[in-house]
Amino acid sequence: MTETILVRSARLADGTSVDILVKDGVIAELGAVTASAERVIDAAGLLALPGLIDLHTHLREPGFEQSETVLTGSRAAAIGGFTAVHAMANTSPVSDTAGVVEQVKSLGDAAGYVTVRPIGAVTVGLEGAQLAEIGAMANSRAKVRVFSDDGKCVSDALLMRRALEYVATFGGVIAQHSQEPRLTEGAQMNEGTLSGQLGLAGWPAVAEEAIIARDVLLAQHVGARLHVCHLSTAGSVEVVRWAKARGIDVTAEVTPHHLLLTEQLVGGYDSRYKVNPPLRRDEDVQAVRAGLADGTIDIVATDHAPHPVEAKECEWEAAAFGMVGLESALSVVQASVVDTGMLDWADVARVFSRVPARIGQLAGYDRGIAVGAPAEFTLYNPDASRVFDTGQLRGKGVNSPYLSTTLPGQVVATIHGGYATVLDGELIDVETIARHAGAANHG
Ligand code: DOR
């Protein structure tokens, strides 16, 4: 059940002002629209961006519903301006069979706030010993194209080679969590002077860079596509830059938190800043920003990682790794790379929507805001500013590193599947969305 929606006077990323007519789930007209519509949204002063697409979201269902569910994570995504998310495989049971990925897809379809694309595990149980049923997941109703053991590295070089070879046969991609396990045993934060001062075991940059270097060479050797998850160091940017210069088929992502925050925050032992890979040095933050600006890093992805309060509100060494990120992502991207003059809004549309759509093979979603394209977009007020607090979170996790800080921008509306999921900065209720989604899924 789609709506006809007329958005009046929105500003596109290229600066032009247009009306947008949404009909039957697609963008029917763009320009000066005279038609009437069931719903009219006044978008004067608002930026229209193609719906954000996250290639790296932990939705936690099945198995860890105390942390997040597909529904609550989808709501967090919609309020953040997302219209599609890719759900990571570290669930319980692990998303390593056709049955589990189909379950995740069905839960996403039923929730209806965003398109949920399951990511399949590379190895059985994320154990790094035996390849998962990659072909069965690819051929399932969930049509999985991205495979990852995220949270863990596929550290065995032969298994990584075989996984790359396998996905190359159907145009899939392996998204690697690049972390050499032996070099990071017991690691708690970035390795350097500060980890020494704080007495915390270090996670050295070389543990990330060595795996990326190995994997780009493997990808080249077997002629496969590699995606690097949450790249975090200046050296990693150099390795990916080198690989791309040699024509190797690699893409890379950076998280909003690695674009904004540094290891200095760990000094207070506040576990909201505990994340894997860890927050790095200021030089690394500058390098990942520059890498995103020059195209070495292809996309931004959140690594939204909700945890229950008891898993985070404990001493640093016992706390879980991870931060929630969906609700704050666009504001953090604005603060770190737009307001600093490194990216413009057309770049943001590219790195946070069009290219992630291409990597995830979400048909049609890479067209942006264009006549005939799926009606997937967000209306954003970049001139707003807000003190970010738990009242702005819609997922179950409150482990945000931005609480009590002022962030720029505000998502005002999100349109997904031809209907509004967010209006006036607030989510549309669960029942209305389920009704829209049910109609869309069944005819
Ligand atoms: O901080 C993290 N949390 N990094 C990961 O790689 C996994 C994630 C999680 O699942 O909590």
Query: pLDDT at position 443, please?
Result: 38
10: CA distance to ligand 1 center in Å? Answer: 36
Tell which one of 316, 321, 324 to mutate to probe ligand 1, the residue whose CB is within 8 A of the most ligand atoms.
321
Average pLDDT over residues 61-84: 98
Q: Compute the distance between CA of residue 90 and CA of residue 182 in angstroms, rounded to an integer.
A: 21
Task: Looking at the CA of residue 306, tell me the nearest atom of ligand 1.
Answer: 11
Residues 114 and 36 reside in one and the same domain = no
Catalytic residue among 215, 303, 339, 389: 303
439 falls within a domain: no
What's the 255 CA to ligand 1 centre distance in angstroms? 12
Containing domain of residue 41, as a range?
5-47+374-434
Region 153-178 average pLDDT: 98
Q: What is the CATH number of the domain that holds 158?
A: 3.20.20.140
Read off the pLDDT of residues 298-319 as tens digits, 9 standing for 90 and up: 999 999 999 999 999 999 999 9
User: Is 183 within 8 Å of 207 (Cβ atoms)?
Assistant: yes
Q: Report if residue 215 sits inside a domain.
A: yes
Indicate whether 79 and 201 sit together in one domain. Answer: yes
265 and 251 in a common domain:
yes
- Residue at a domain's end among 367, 393, 415: 367
Among 321, 348, 367, where does a domain finish?
367
Respond yes or no: is residue 303 known to be catalytic: yes
* Among the listed residues 134, 161, 169, the one whose alpha carbon sits nearest the alpha carbon of residue 148: 134
Q: Do 354 and 421 share a structural domain?
A: no
Predicted confidence (pLDDT) per residue in 222-266, tens digit = 999 999 999 999 999 999 999 999 999 999 999 999 999 999 999
- Cis, peptide link before residue 118, omega less than 30° from 0: no
Q: Write down the pTM of the prediction.
A: 0.97
Q: Which residues line ligand 1 (CB under 6 A)?
A: 58, 90, 150-151, 177, 275-276, 303, 305, 321-322
Instruction: Identify whether 443 is part of a domain.
Output: no
The protein residue whose alpha carbon is closest to atom 3 in ligand 1 is: 322
Residues 104 and 196 in one domain: yes
pLDDT at residue 410 in the model: 98
Average pLDDT over residues 167-178: 98
Measured from the CA of 179, which atom of ligand 1 is nearest? 6
Check if the beta carbon of residue 84 is closer than 8 Å to that of residue 54: yes
CB-side neighbour CA atoms (13 Å) of 21? 13
Q: Give yes or no: residues 110 and 131 share one domain.
A: yes
Q: Closest ligand 1 atom to the C-alpha of 274?
A: 1
Residue 403 inside a domain? The answer is: yes
Mutate to test the pocket of ligand 1, among 58, 279, 399 (most ligand atoms within 8 A of CB): 58
Task: Give 183-236 as a DSSP string.
Answer: GGTT--EE-SHHHHHHT--EE-HHHHHHHHHHHHHHHHHHT--EEE-S---HHH
Domain-ending residue, one of 367, 395, 416: 367
Q: Are residues 134 and 175 in the same domain?
A: yes
- Tell me how many domains the chain contains: 2
Res. 441 pLDDT band, cuts 50 70 90: low
For ligand 1, pick from 91, 203, 276 the residue to mutate: most ligand atoms within 8 Å of CB: 276
pLDDT for the residue numbered 439 = 76
Residues 168 and 21 in one domain: no
- Asked if residue 440 is part of any domain, the answer here is no
Please name the residue whose Cα sits nearest to atom 1 of ligand 1: 322
Please indicate, yes or no, whether residues 278 and 380 belong to a single structural domain of this protein: no
Looking up residue 403, the CATH number of its domain turns out to be 2.30.40.10
| 37 lies in the same domain as 59 | no
User: In terms of domains, do 246 and 271 share one?
Assistant: yes
* 219, pLDDT greater than 70: yes
Assigned domain for 441 exists: no
Check whether residue 219 and residue 101 sit in a common domain: yes
Find the mean pLDDT for residues 400-414: 98
3 state DSSP class of 161: helix
